[in-house]
Structure 1
């Protein structure tokens, strides 16, 4: 098994407390409303804290897939949300798991910056291509921007 790492920071125009609530604490309620391909997110183990496993089911191009999302750590005071994709039909055959460590910090003008560290645990001697790494980063940054847009349009959320 190999490990490939990526780090990046995504700015958002909403405060960390709001973005953290939406992307971490309310993820299972909000994302099926915002992301068209997400059919459902259900708890299979736990109640939301560390150790919780969520099954995220998607339908894309008529094909249903799922991934298992394990919550590794939540720290509401430091805006830390760490999780891993640990299995499912939506996890690429070349990957054992993908672990995300994220922290929101204060950004300029009352906004925030979402710092992300991703570890891709590959099977055998497989190495992710630059295109695969860019696509993974683009997905995560796209989700941040999607949630940011929702929060800006819904200031009471």
Structure 2
């Protein structure tokens, strides 16, 4: 079955550089702090923090419907506010997906920015994609982006 791709844009009040630092460069510290109901911890298991090829393990809190995921950083362009990472392991793949690739591109818009989120879901051979799961995942990405944006607005010194 072919890879399915979806794209969404999230308008944010925060400037691109701050949003990129929070969402892409320091998410391993920030997400468990501002999204404790979604992230217990994010730890480096291979590589050098934000270097391409590095792998991070995300542990979800007790009661969450998933236990863990591993993400590999596939692309990082700080000058152009672009990040690409792949979910390569974990129960979040539900045995239905070989991998899920996420691309984040942040562009200036007025005094804030637009965060363009693109997701490519590659199903396991013979598995039917979970359309509802993809839709829920997209909404969660959008919500997380908005929560981080709200945190940055409320904390203007953070990632300045």
Check if 1:141 corresponds to 2:136.
Answer: no
Gap runs ≥5 in structure 1: none
TM-superposed CA distance for 1:131, in Å, is: 2.4
Report the equivalent of 1:96.
98
TM-superposed CA distance for 1:97, in Å, is: 0.8
Query: CA distance change for structure 1 residues 64 and 124 in 2, over 3 Å: closer, same or farther?
Result: closer
TM-superposed CA distance for 1:71, in Å, is: 0.5
Q: How does 1:32-47 map to 2 (within 5 A)?
A: 32-36=32-36, 37-47=38-48
State how far apart, in whole Å, the 2-side matches of 1:79 and 1:107 are: 13
Does the 8 Å contact 1:56/1:66 carry over to 2?
yes
TM-superposed CA distance for 1:141, in Å, is: 0.3
Check if 1:155 corresponds to 2:156.
Answer: yes
Report the equivalent of 1:25.
25
- Please give the per-residue CA displacement for 1:8-57, whole angstroms capped at 9, x wherever unaligned: 11110110001000001111010010112311111001112100100000
- Regions of 4+ moved over 3 Å: none
Q: How does 1:123-142 map to 2 (within 5 A)?
A: 123-142=124-143
* Larger strand percent: 1
Query: CA distance change for structure 1 residues 28 and 62 in 2, over 3 Å: closer, same or farther?
Result: closer
Report the equivalent of 2:112.
111
Report the equivalent of 1:70.
72
Give the match's secondary structure for 1:120: strand
- Please give the per-residue CA displacement for 1:88-147, whole angstroms capped at 9, x wherever unaligned: 233221111100112100113x11001122110101233434422321210110110010
Aligned length: 156
TM-score (normalizing by structure 1): 0.92
Does the 8 Å contact 2:81/2:107 carry over to 1?
yes
TM-score (normalizing by structure 2): 0.91
State how far apart, in whole Å, the 2-side matches of 1:51 and 1:35 are: 25
